[in-house]
Amino acid sequence: MKAVLQRVSKASVTVSAELISSINQGFLILLGVESSDNEKEAEALARKISGLRIFTDENDKMNLSLSDVEGEVLVVSNFTLCADCRKGRRPNFEGAARGETANRLYEYFCKKLEDAGVKKVAKGIFGADMKVELLNDGPVTIIIDSLELAK
């Protein structure tokens, strides 16, 4: 699994001009599920993200976690994170998990964030053409690959 994590002041997802989900301070997570992923990767990624200390404390040092600031999370499925751009000019998406598997692991990842104590876990609509708006805080943007967590 690949996650692009953005610290935000607020974020929202709209589909066909209808607001689907919104959050205040927290993380916008773009989540790409690869064909080799399983529950183990989802659990490790959720555990890592829920404990990351990337919110600033009273000394303006990144020292606080999501739970410390009672932050919220908006998770948006994004198969394009699994693009292979090594050859040619058109990305290859063969490494992305197929729809049913990807959706199951996406939902499992969101559940594991809730289990880790995240105050609010909002979601987009899996497979939909979503419009994502955010107010990036910092900006702080971190890329996490679940394969690197096992090292």
Q: What is the pLDDT of residues 116-128, one digit of tens each?
A: 999 999 999 999 9
Are the beta carbons of 50 and 117 closer than 8 angstroms?
yes
pLDDT tens-digit readout, 13-71: 999 999 999 999 999 999 999 999 999 999 999 999 999 999 999 999 999 999 999 99
Give the count of domains, the chain: 1
Range of the domain at 24: 2-149
pLDDT over 70 percentage in the chain:
99
What confidence score (pLDDT) does residue 151 get? 57
Residue 56 belongs to domain with CATH number: 3.50.80.10
